[in-house]
Amino acid sequence: MHDIRLIRDDPEGFDAVMARRGLAPVADDILALDEKRRELTTKLQEAQSRRNDASKAIGQAMGQGDAEKAEALKAEVAELKKTMPALEEQDREIAKQLEAAMLALPNVLHTGVPDGASEDDNVYLREWGQKPAFDFEPQEHADIAPALGMDFETAAKISGARFTFLRGDMARLHRALGQFMLDNNTREHGFTECNPPLLINEQAGYGTGQLPKFGEDLFWTKDDRILISTSEMVLGNSFREQLFAESDFPMRLTALTPCFRSEAGSAGRDTRGFIRQHQFEKVEMIVASLPENAADELERITAVAEGLLQKLGLHYRVMALCSGDMGAAMMRTYDLEVWLPGQGAYREISSCSDGGTYQPRRMNARYRPDGSKKSEYFHLLNGSGLAVGRTLVALIENYQQADGSVLVPEVLHPYMGGVTKLEPAA
RNA sequence: GGAGCAGUGGCCGAGUGGUCGAAGGCGCACGCCUGGAAAGUGUGUAUACGGUAACCCCGUAUCGAGGGUUCGAAUCCCUCCUGCUCCGCCA
């Protein structure tokens, strides 16, 4: 959501930003609606003003016992009121159109975002570690994991494609990963652990920007609730409709939750394995930050996510998303891509973003700067730390042995109850 | 699921048809007092949109949300949402 004044003041500049996202110009249409609305509103308000004056006069006339005068005024107002419903109706209609148009607009871009049309244009920033060396041909996780307790077939029977049933030590390793990440974020980086609802109402979907445009990517319940596609949706909206003090910041939340995505637009993509699921777990980090600290906070959450990969000994690279690949609600994003030797590819495992004031505006979440009378919008940042399912995939592919077993990284041993290796079933 | 009660400003809380954008308190801001602070004391203190370039000023709207009655609604009526209490059911 944008301040309409941003568009009024610099329509060309606004369209230029939209163009960087590969979108057609919108400012003209928006401003036409805006102008129409202001015109109608002014007319309506003038009528209301006259009505209010007359009503006040009626009250006074009646107070003075001048019934005749009161009746005359009443007749006058009745006449005036004949024109008001139509104005109200038009005003409401235009306001609705304008709001719908505004809600559909994506965020502006941070000046540092590189230009580009697709993920191929994302910019390499740095990397950590190196690709592990194998004295055998490393396998894809989808080939070796079934023998280790990753059961695609059973899940397909009872739920369908893109669901997975984990068993035994595989399930435990998955759980260990989530616990490890959560502990890391809360104990070492000052995040508050949260256990939020997984079902949210439609309004909250608008708050974080999944709605109105991406409703088909979500699972909906019959009573019109949404299964969260990321805990960003709940943690972010936890600030909704509140006014904070400057001293409240920064507010850092983290949660381990399942995430549900219909993957409507990705038919045929990553259909094998555990990479792209309808249901997966993710540890999310959300930071509410003062605008002036947001750039530092983005580096900070990125560093937390990187630290997790480093502790797990997984080679990764950091990419700056280009203008054409950036999520609609974000103004700047870094992706962490982990190396998967079985696939011979880097895959996204964390996405860390500064969303600016876009979401707080949509959810009316503000703060009052010290000594200021006026409230302002703060920044919301989010980052995965990390996608648990994909981290499990990365462990399997990076720590696989020639015999089909998988070593458990040392940092997870405390969570594994003595298990240091996943062994294939005979 | 049934019954009852309630939702007012940053927070608490008064207010059942006109002079209410709303008493009072807390908090906050500024001043006085003080060596400095606390206490005390004085003043100020909702938001959005529009008129405007403007945080002065003017108008409109907002007392959970949406409708309705009325010349006029925080106040009356209807629907919905949320919370609390009791009952039922239940992990």
Tokens of A297: 């906070």
Q: Percent of chain A beyond pLDDT 90?
A: 72
Q: Render pLDDT for A132-159 as a digit per residue (tens, 0 to 9).
A: 999 999 999 999 999 999 999 999 999 9
CA–C1' A105–B29 (A): 38
Average pLDDT (A7-24) is 93
Task: Identify nearest nucleotide to residue A37 by CA to C1′ distance.
Answer: B50
Predicted pLDDT at A26: 92
Mind listing the pLDDT tens digit for each residue in A324-335? 999 999 999 999
Average pLDDT over residues A116-128: 96
Catalytic residue list contains A46? no
Tokens 């930071």 sit on residue: A287
- CATH number for region A119-422: 3.30.930.10
Catalytic residue among A20, A21, A162, A261: A261
d(CA A167, CA A176): 13
- CA of A372: nucleotide with nearest C1': B29
Give catalytic status of residue A261 as yes or no.
yes
A356 CA to B82 C1' in angstroms comes to: 30
Cα separation, A326 vs A353, in Å, equals 9
How far apart (Å, rounded) are the C-alpha atoms in residues A405 and A93?
Answer: 64
| Nearest Cα to Cα of residue A121 among A382, A342, A335 | A335
Mean pLDDT over residues A357-372, rounded?
88
Mean local confidence (pLDDT), A219-228: 90
Pick the closest to residue A105 from A39, A10, A7 (CA basis). A7
CA distance A82 to A180: 68
pLDDT band with cut points at 50, 70 and 90 for residue A223:
confident
Task: Give distance CA A290 / C1' B43 (Å).
Answer: 31
Distance A203 CA to B65 C1' (A): 13
Torsion, Cα of A298, A398, A146, A256 (10° steps): -20
> Nearest CA to A74 among A59, A89, A63, A86?
A59
Closest CA to A411 of A187, A193, A184, A130: A184
Distance A306 CA to B79 C1' (A): 52
Instruction: Report which of A261, A270, A254 is spatially closest to residue A228, judged by C-alpha positions.
Output: A261
Closest CA to A362 of A153, A248, A205, A180: A205
Give the model's confidence band at A245: pLDDT under 50 very low, under 70 low, under 90 confident, else very high.
confident
Residue where the block lists tokens 């299964």: A227
Cβ atoms < 10 Å from Cβ of A284: 30
pLDDT the model gives residue A307 = 98
DSSP A58-105: HHHHHHTT-HHHHHHHHHHHHHHHTTHHHHHHHHHHHHHHHHHHHHTP
Residue A63, nucleotide of least CA–C1' distance: B18
- The SS3 of residue A147 is helix
Strand B: list positions under 7 Å from protein Cβ: 10, 18-19, 29-30, 45-51, 55, 59-61, 67, 71-72
Longest dimension (CA), chain A: 104
Long-range pairs of A399-403 with CB within 8 A, sequence gap ≥ 24: A400/A134, A400/A138, A400/A139, A400/A144, A400/A342, A402/A135, A402/A136
Answer for the pair A380, A327: CB distance below 8 angstroms, yes or no.
no
- Selecting among A8, A240, A276, A317, the annotated active-site residue is A276
Q: How far is the CA of A241 from the C1' of B64 (A)?
A: 13
Arithmetic mean of pLDDT over chain A: 92
Residue A177: pLDDT band (50, 70, 90) is: very high
Span A43-73, pLDDT tens digits: 888 888 888 888 888 877 776 767 777 788 8
For chain A, the C-alpha Rg in angstroms (whole number) is 27
Q: Is the pLDDT of residue A370 over 90?
A: no
Q: What is the C-alpha separation between A44 and A47, in angstroms, rounded? A: 5
For chain A, where do the domains classified as CATH 1.10.287.40 start and end? 4-103
Angstrom distance (rounded) from CA A366 to CA A240? 9
Please name the nucleotide lying closest to A376, CA to C1'. Answer: B47
Closest CA to A114 of A105, A99, A104, A124: A124
**Residue A93: what pLDDT?**
85
How buried is residue A306: exposed, middle or buried, by Cβ count under 10 Å (0-12/13-18/19+)?
A: buried
Give the span between the Cα atoms of A138 and A123, in whole angstroms: 28
Separation CA A390–CA A314 (nearest Å): 12
A276 counts as catalytic: yes
- Which residue in A350, A351, A353, A384 is the catalytic one? A351
Residues with CB under 7 A from strand B: A 3-4, 38, 41-42, 44-46, 48-49, 51-56, 58-59, 62-63, 74, 77-78, 81, 92, 243, 371, 373-375
> pLDDT category, A392, cuts 50, 70, 90?
very high
Tell whether domain A4-103 is in CATH 3.40.50.10140. no
φ, ψ of residue A393 to 5 degrees: the values are: -60, -45
Count of Cβ atoms closer than 10 Å to residue A217 Cβ: 15
Rounded CA–C1' distance between A201 and B3, in angstroms:
28
Q: Which token pair is A166? A: 């984990």
Pick from A163-172, A357-366, A405-414: least confident: A357-366
Q: Which of A88, A127, A263, A348 is catalytic?
A: A348
Q: Which residue in the list A284, A306, A390, A397 is annotated as catalytic?
A: A390
Average pLDDT over residues A352-358: 96
State pLDDT tens for residues A18-43: 999 999 999 999 999 999 989 888 88
Judge whether residue A371 has pLDDT over 80: no
Domain with CATH 3.30.930.10 in chain A: 119-422
Percent of chain A clearing pLDDT 70 (strictly above): 99
The pLDDT confidence band at residue A209, using thresholds 50, 70 and 90, is very high
pLDDT at A266: 84
ipTM of the complex: 0.86
pLDDT in tens, A270-313: 889 999 999 999 999 999 999 999 999 999 999 999 999 999 99
A171-188 mean pLDDT? 98
